[in-house]
Structure 1
Amino acid sequence: MAKMVVLLVLFTLFLSFSTNEVGCKRIYREDHMELKRQLKHLNKLAKKTIRTKYGDTYDCINLYEHPFFNYHSLKNHTYDFPVRSTSNPKGIRDQKSSLLFNPSNFWLNGKGCPDGMVPIKRNTEDDLKRAKLATEIHNSKYKPLTIDRPGTHYAIVRTKNTNIVYHGGSTSISIYNPKVEGTQYSSARIKVLNGPDSIEVGWTVNPTLYNDTSTRLYTFTKTSNSSCFNTFCKSIIPTSTDIPLGIPIVPISTLDQQFDMKFMLFWDSSNGNWFLKFGQDETDIGFWPKNVFTALGDGASYVEWGGEVFSPPDMPSPPMGSGRAHLQQDTVFDAYCRQIKTINETDFVVNAVDTEKLSDIQQYEVLDEGMTGAADFQHLVLFGGAGGYTGNKDF
């Protein structure tokens, strides 16, 4: 019976997208040859193949042969490897992530790609089709549980509209593995926005995108004319030899012990590029060239922290964060973003101020605890919920 429900939901979702010009017809017909061209091109660039302990295969590609460099007119640019931002955020940052990425725990070879190369996941045609469908799900307004309640729900804290130009933001987000089914997803992220452009980064459980229910690192990039997860479009350029987008993030938080990971998005005002810094040591693992964006290339107007979920029609919405029905105002039980910070116009990392909380339905809660007085937490945000929202329908 459960299998039949999932099939019906998928069929309904596919019918919905078939009426949209960016829906399944485009995914399965118009883009078929483009998908094959991308795969063939990337396979030619591979210098070495490496595998993870989780069964994923990656090809090591010379950074300067990466096709994104041609697209972004960066072919004649030179970068010292490893690629880092020209300027760096300033100020004392005592934030320590409880998780440290150790390549030996991830790669079968214990180290990732050789210097000067970056790991790109070896994708099949089905992988690219699923990535396109996941993008349409993430973007589309055409996915209601009811007409007045779309299937995407949020529980976030964000900066208010103060006409400030932000050079980025950071936080450490607790790691969970909420249960999702079918085309549902559940994510926790930091997001920067300006006009039609946005970048979000964090962890997600997204079977449509990854074909499993692991908690994985992700980015989602949206511009005035394109959008995608990770490196499935010409947006972020990966720069790390051993930390690729899409990696599983482990271990998962429990009542006995909580784990979190640090994420930072930093706008390098010297060149307009956005950098993703990951983990306690703020390792640069990728950057977005300025010319990807129409507005974010000049900094961000908002920064957000919190959770997001999606459920297709006729499926109760999934859990968010730790999945508890109500927040306990305790980081042992609640998912959190601790030490939420913004990067100001002089590149100083400062505690976020002038924030507001937003949650669109009662099944998902968010609390802006403000400055807690505890050095490890400082400005703290709690978020989550058990889900189960049905759009006023009984299933």
Structure 2
Amino acid sequence: MKTSVSRPELKMQTGKNETSNKREIGCPNGTVPILRNTNEYVTNSQMFAERHFHPLSADSPGTHIAGVRSFSGPFRGVQAWFSANSLNVGKDQVSYSQIYIGSGSENQVNYISAGWIINPGLYGDLCVWTFGFWKGKDGKGCYNTACPGFVQVSKVIPIVEPADLKSGVPGWLRYSIHQDINTGNWWITQLKENAPNEDIGYWPKELFNLLDNGANMVGVGGVVQASRSGLSPPMGNGNFPNGGPLDTGVFTNIDVLNSNYQQRKMNSFRTENLLDSENCYGLRIGTVKPFRRSHLGFFFNYGGPGGISCGV
């Protein structure tokens, strides 16, 4: 079916040229790219969906976070430009970076996130994968297209795919999650510097019961899940944010859409820094001009090596 998306044109200013690791090939008319749903993938997706961390809930054992969020909503969207790095993550560990929106009421949570993830237990390898995740009414939630929910629209860019990264060289994601003005659906868009933005797909508004009038919270950051032994994996690019802006994991161009769909820098609202394990990870709010450009706006560096002494 043809879909419509109506919203202000999202702008992404960058200080680096757009680069691509591979040539994009579109699917034939009437088809879209979908990751094959094996029984193992669907089963593992359901298991990890129950464990997926979101800052609207209480901390879960073995989960650690480094990032920034704001409760000064309602918000209609969030966007950022952020790095993706290859990491050594154990089979029973997870490391990811995400942008997210959500609302909570009593024991109910509605939540959408997207970004990159290394999850050998889910994908069966150490590749960096893009992902989308939702949690809606009645406690239901899902990764990507492992179950009904997300509607893939783009014929070129799937919601989930492996990133072709060279060792030690970061890739970059430029993502936006935003609510359609007319339909109320929640779209994910890949923002491009020198080409039209690509609307990847959307989460129908019917999946949620707390997001009709926007989200109460937006945020960005890195998250890890430790193994059962208590060993936490690296986050970001595995380094503490003690060097230059490009020496560790970075989020920049962090913007939000306010209740009137106006694009604003996230730090124009009251924000809260999240860091729960200084032994293993760090967070540094931007105080210098990244990439020698001042128009990249609000940014921060994050990450660290992980280890056995990260706490619970």
Q: TM-score range by the shorter chain?
A: 0.7 to 0.9
Between structures 1 and 2, the one with greater helix share? 1
Cα distance in 2, alignment partners of residues 253 and 344 from structure 1: 38
Q: Judging changes above 3 Å, is the alpha-carbon distance between structure 1 residues 299 and 371 closer, same or farther for their aligned structure 2 residues?
A: farther
- Cα-to-partner distance string for 1:43-63 (whole Å, 9 max, x where unaligned): xxxxxxxxxxxxxxxxxxxxx
Aligned length: 295
Work out whether 1:212 is the aligned partner of 2:128: no
The question of 1:116 aligning with 2:116 is answered no
Residues 12 and 191, structure 2, Cα contact 8 Å, conserved in 1: no
Residues 86, 296 of structure 1: CA spacing in aligned structure 2 closer, same or farther, 3 A cutoff? same
Deviation at 1:294, TM superposition (A): 0.5
How much does 1:122 deviate? 2.1
Distance 2:48 2:135 in 1: 13
Distance 1:392 1:287, change over 3 A: closer
SS of structure 2 residue aligned to 1:270: coil
When the two chains are superposed, the root-mean-square deviation of aligned CA atoms in Å is 2.5
* Contact map agreement 1:190 1:304 (CA 8 A) in 2: yes
Q: For 1:368, which of 279, 282, 285 is the aligned residue? A: 285
Q: SS of 2:285's equivalent? A: strand
Aligned: 1:263 with 2:187: no
- Which position in structure 2 is the counterpart of 1:15? none
Alignment partner of 1:359 is 2:271: no
Unmatched tracts of structure 2, length 5 or more:
none
Gaps of 5+ in 1: 1-63, 65-78, 106-110, 141-147
Residue type of the alignment partner of 1:367: R
The answer to whether the 8 Å contact 1:338/1:377 transfers is yes
Residue 89 (structure 1) shift: 3.8
2:132 counterpart SS class: strand
Instruction: Supply the distance in 2 between the matched residues of 1:252 and 1:331 (Cα, whole angstroms).
Output: 20
**Cα distance, 1:340–1:89 mapped onto 2, change above 3 Å:** same
Whether 1:104 and 2:104 are equivalent positions in the alignment is: no
Which among 156, 164, 169 is matched to residue 67 of structure 2? 156
Aligned-pair identity (%): 28
Q: 2:52 aligns with which of 138, 158, 180?
A: 138
Any idea what SS the aligned residue of 1:121 has? coil
Question: 162, 165, 175: which one pairs with 1:248?
Answer: 162
- Inter-CA distance 127–331: structure 2 relative to 1 (3 Å threshold): same
Alignment of 1:143-292 (within 5 A): 150-159=61-70, 161-162=71-72, 164-195=73-104, 196-225=109-138, 226-252=140-166, 254=168, 258-280=170-192, 281-292=196-207
1:60 paired residue number: none
* Higher RCO (C-alpha under 8 Å, 6+ residues apart): 2
TM-score of the superposed pair, with normalisation by structure 2? 0.86
Aligned: 1:88 with 2:8 = yes
Paired residue secondary structure (1:337): strand
Give yes or no for contact 1:100–1:279 (8 Å, CA) kept in 2: no
SS in 1 for 2:27: coil
Identify if the C-alpha distance between structure 1 residues 117 and 262 changes in structure 2 by more than 3 Å, giving closer, same or farther. same
Distance 1:190 1:97 in 2: 20
Report the Cα distance in structure 1 between the residues aligned to 2:311 and 2:77, rounded to whole angstroms.
Answer: 38
